[in-house]
Amino acid sequence: MFDRVEAFYRPGTVREALRLLQNGKNRARVVAGGTDLVVEADRSIRFLIDITHAGLSYIRRRGKACVIGATTTMATLENSPAIRALAGGILARAAATCGSVQIRNMATLGGNLANGSPAADTATPLLALDAEVVLADARGRRKIPLTAFYSGLRKTAPGKALLIEVVIPALPRGGRWSFQKLGRTESDISLVNAAAGLQLDSKGRAKWARIALGAVAPTPIRAVNAEKLLVGRKVDESTLAEVCDQVAREVQPITDVRASAEYRREMCRVLVRRALEECAAGTGCSL
Ligand SMILES: Cc1cc2nc3c(=O)[nH]c(=O)nc-3n(C[C@H](O)[C@H](O)[C@H](O)COP(=O)(O)OP(=O)(O)OC[C@H]3O[C@@H](n4cnc5c(N)ncnc54)[C@H](O)[C@@H]3O)c2cc1C
């Protein structure tokens, strides 16, 4: 499938990777774990630039933020005590659902986002966590919200830029979090996935709420109108029903080989309800 590849590079720095990417013009592609790129089998690729030795595999604290290098693998995220402790472990849980052990040992966080799939499992928790991404190109580095990174179906901001790291800012205090995934099998990609964050006040009203969904629109999305509907309301059966109805209106699922649009829309209701119930259960609220 890469029979037209003329050269394979393994730069030791980001600067070198960017130079190679620029020199290769449209015929050069970055490769990390290769689990999406190999399947894609793009025969226009002449130069492969393996960035797994460019110093981008790390999980660090930077002030109150948690910073994750782009080539950090799903297996590392899944097993990291820091990521398991962050926001109820929703990112670790999402990483643990990405394919088989063999896939997770190779697949990287940066590749999962840069591939631009609406079903990318790590995108949903990262959207709920208000994550940002740091991009680098010949002009320098810039940080943008993950919401701005996605510009359409399989379209992301990088272009000739490298995704360097993901920044998860300080979390709002007192929140509870949940990640839910529905797949055809244990190791299959999501038919629908959802992440939620919620904090209740002493009267059981939502102080803030975050709801994100994957595989139900051209990009992973935040259900912002459903979030707005929830804030300030007592989280009970009737509020949850209204919020889930709003979620179903906000998504734009398609029918494909895995599921129909109708089924996906219905599963959005189910997964968001489960996610919010899990968040609320952690606060002692009985639904
Ligand atoms: C059998 C199988 C099961 C899978 N199951 C799941 C699943 O359950 N959930 C899920 O979300 N995904 C799943 N995937 C998809 C895939 O494993 C993930 O998306 C993975 O995280 C991709 O990362 P990678 O490092 O392998 O990316 P690569 O294949 O190396 O790259 C993917 C794309 O991103 C670009 N890229 C990679 N890194 C960067 C960077 N730092 N900056 C700019 N561009 C970059 C590459 O040029 C390429 O276009 C599965 C794949 C397979 C083959």
Domain boundaries, the chain: 7-50, 59-168, 176-281
Q: What is the pLDDT of residues 81-140, one digit of tens each?
A: 999 999 999 999 999 999 999 999 999 999 999 999 999 999 999 999 999 999 999 889
Chain centroid offset of residue 285 CA = 28
**Does 257 contact ligand 1 (Cβ within 6 A)?**
no
Indicate the burial class of 65 (C-beta count within 10 angstroms; 0-12, 13-18, 19 or more). middle
Query: Is ligand 1 within 6 A of the CB of residue 157?
Result: no
Report how far residue 217's alpha carbon sits from residue 264's, in angstroms, rounded to the nearest whole number.
Answer: 10
Tell me how far the alpha carbon of residue 131 lies from the centroid of ligand 1, in angstroms: 19
| Residue 253 and residue 268 in contact, taking contact as beta carbons nearer than 8 Å | yes
Q: How far is the CA of 138 from the centre of ligand 1 (A)?
A: 24
59-168: CATH number: 3.30.465.10
Question: What does the pLDDT read at residue 187?
Answer: 80
**What would the two tokens of residue 108 be?**
């990287």
Specify the pLDDT at position 26. 86
Question: What spacing in Å lies between the alpha carbon of 55 and ligand 1's midpoint?
Answer: 18
Mutate to test the pocket of ligand 1, among 74, 98, 160, 180 (most ligand atoms within 8 A of CB): 98
> pTM of this prediction?
0.96
Is the C-beta atom of 54 inside 6 A of ligand 1? no
Mean pLDDT of 208-220: 97
107 lines ligand 1 (CB under 6 A): yes
Q: What percent of the chain has pLDDT over 70?
A: 97
3-class DSSP assignment, residue 215: coil
Q: CB under 8 Å to 107, separation ≥6 — which residues?
A: 33, 35, 36, 73, 74, 98, 99
Q: What is the distance in A from the centroid of ligand 1 to the CA of 238?
A: 39
Centroid of chain to Cα 23: 30
For residue 29 and ligand 1, the question of a CB distance below 6 A is answered with yes
Residue nearest to atom 15 of ligand 1 (CA): 36
Exposed / middle / buried, residue 68 (Cβ in 10 Å: 0-12, 13-18, 19+): buried
What are the tens digits of pLDDT across the range 236-269?
A: 999 999 999 999 999 999 999 999 999 999 999 9
CB distance 204 to 285 below 8 Å: yes
| Residue located nearest, by CA, to atom 23 of ligand 1 | 111
Whether 158 lines ligand 1, by a CB cut-off of 6 Å, is yes
Q: How many other C-beta atoms can be found within 10 angstroms of the C-beta atom of residue 191?
A: 22
CA pair distance 98, 246, nearest whole angstrom:
28
123: Cβ below 6 Å to ligand 1?
Answer: no
The answer on pLDDT for 285 being more than 90 is no
Fold of 176-281: Enolase-like; domain 1 (3.30.390)
Residue nearest to atom 2 of ligand 1 (CA): 99
What's the CATH code, domain 7-50?
A: 3.30.43
